[in-house]
Amino acid sequence: MSLPWKLRETFSPEEIQFMVENEPIKIFPRFTTKPSVRGAARGGSAPSAQPRWKLLTANDTPLNNLVAIQTTQVALWIALLLKQQGKCSIVAPEWLRLAQLQKHIDYELKNTERFSDLPWNWLVVAQLLFSKAADDLHDPVHLLRGKVQDLREIRLGKIGQGLKHLNESHLQLDNLSLLEINELRPFVLGVMNKLKQVHGSVSEDQPDE
Amino acid sequence: MYGDLGSKLVLEAKRAQQLNRSSGAEQLPMFQDELIRNIIKEVGQLSKSAEYLTAQQEETGFQDKVARCQYFVTLLCIERNKRCLLAYQKLRSDALDTFTWNRNGIDPISSLNAAHQGSANLSHHEQEYLKEYAQLVTDMKSGDYTDIDLSGSLTPPSDVFIDVRVLKDAGEIQTEYGVFNLIKDSQFFVRQADVERLIQQGYLQKL
């Protein structure tokens, strides 16, 4: 088959990152793309209200109306590209602060049966921002990293606990992030399919007896 | 017993599959010519005895239960041999398909012979199949989807520009976007889209 067997039943981590990069995030641009109306009126440096260039993407309205030091929402991949060239700073999401993360950790510790409601892409976003936009975060990165790692480990422990309850019909995974689900998928699907097969064969046999 | 040869063949197939998965080297082990011929010979014998049994049953008027059972079991043996043969062949053809997608579509399209050093390991029919499948893939790529390089890399693009190091001397290589002078151990900072094919071919190493 054209698709390598590794990709057939689950996403690769790169693909997860690709999906997450499509999510919007807020940035502080350091340059202006908004056509200047005043300049057009004066007929000075910018002779027409139409800019001479445009950024072409699928959804380019926010990109072509950037004003320096005014928050705008753009897709994460554009934000990272601009960040690499030093053309913007990324506004860290609400949950990526020490206090917020600590709250999540407390919640996780208190409620051993459920997961706290982090966004579905928290692991990937945290990892991307730590590596590429470390200077834009509100708190020192090493502390944030520590908290994220703590959260990850607590949740991993719970996932391990939850696997005890694998059955052939259903599984509830509220607030589990995409990356966490993705690494579980091959194992859980395999086991559940087998359980279902065994269960199905048993319930088929019973009416005959 | 009948069917033992078949399970030997399936074990062989299993081994080939594991080899493919662990090393990722797209090399198929030898085609088990001898073993397959033996299995086919066995099927021939089985079908002969099945014919003999039907002839015998016609004499007795389809009454003999033992003969009927014999006939049925013979059929099952043939069935099992067929399954083993098909499983083996399907696995190999899957590997060949993967190979076609991974290698052959890349820049110099007629790389079929150059790329597949192991063509001695293929049976005659498999070589034919490989050629025709490659043709099918080329047809598909030159059909409606010419804008997309369908056999290209499946990892999503993350960086527009990358550093590459030249691993093998290749002289001057023309890509669609310009000429590179690939001298061994030199480094380039280039658009990823330009060099993806050279990376797949093993001339460049991504840094």
Residues B173 and B142 in one domain: no
- A18 inside 8 A of chain B by CB: yes
Least confident of A14-23, A37-46, A180-189, B181-190: A37-46
Average pLDDT, chain B: 81
HEC secondary structure over B59-128: HHCCCCHHHHHHHHHHHHHHHHHHHHHHHHHHHHHHHHHHHHHHHHCCCCCCCHHHHCHHHHHCCHHHHH
- A17 inside 8 A of chain B by CB: yes
Q: Of the candidates A105, A111, A101, A118, which has an alpha carbon nearest to the alpha carbon of residue A181?
A: A118
- What pTM was computed for the model? 0.80
Residues B116 and B64 in one domain: yes
Q: How many CB atoms lie within 10 A of CB B60?
A: 9
- The yes-or-no verdict on residue A13 having pLDDT over 70 is yes
Q: Do A2 and B101 touch (CB under 8 A)?
A: yes
Task: Name residues 96-155 of chain A within 8 A of B (Cβ).
Answer: none
Please tell me the total count of domains within chain B.
Answer: 2
Q: Which of A1, A17, A81 sits opposite B98 (nearest CB)?
A: A1
Q: Do B156 and A3 touch (CB under 8 A)?
A: no
Residues B124 and B166 in one domain: no
Among B13-27, B69-83, B111-125, the range of highest mean pLDDT = B69-83
Residue B86 lies in a domain: yes
Q: Between A and B, how many residue pairs show a Cβ–Cβ distance under 8 A?
A: 23
Phi, psi of B80 (to 5 degrees): -65, -40
Mean pLDDT of A181-207: 87
- The yes-or-no verdict on residue A144 having pLDDT over 80 is yes
**Structural domain for A62, as ranges:** 1-36+53-91
- What ipTM is given for this predicted complex? 0.75
Residue A191 lies in a domain: no
Residues B170 and B137 in one domain: no
Least confident of A39-53, A117-131, B26-40, B172-186: A39-53
- The yes-or-no verdict on residue A209 having pLDDT over 70 is no
Convert the pLDDT of each residue in A66-83 to its tens digit: 888 888 888 898 899 889
| CATH code for position A69 | 3.40.5.50
Triad B46, B47, B51: Cα angle to 5°: 120
Convert the pLDDT of each residue in A127-142 to its tens digit: 999 998 888 888 888 8
- The yes-or-no verdict on residue A44 having pLDDT over 50 is no
Minimal C-alpha gap between A81 and chain B (Å): 9
Residue A116 lies in a domain: no
Please tell me the total count of domains within chain A.
Answer: 1
Residues B116 and B174 in one domain: no
Minimal C-alpha gap between A110 and chain B (Å): 38
Domain end residue (candidates: B124, B147, B170): B147
Strand order in the sheet with A88-90: A72-75, A24-29, A88-90
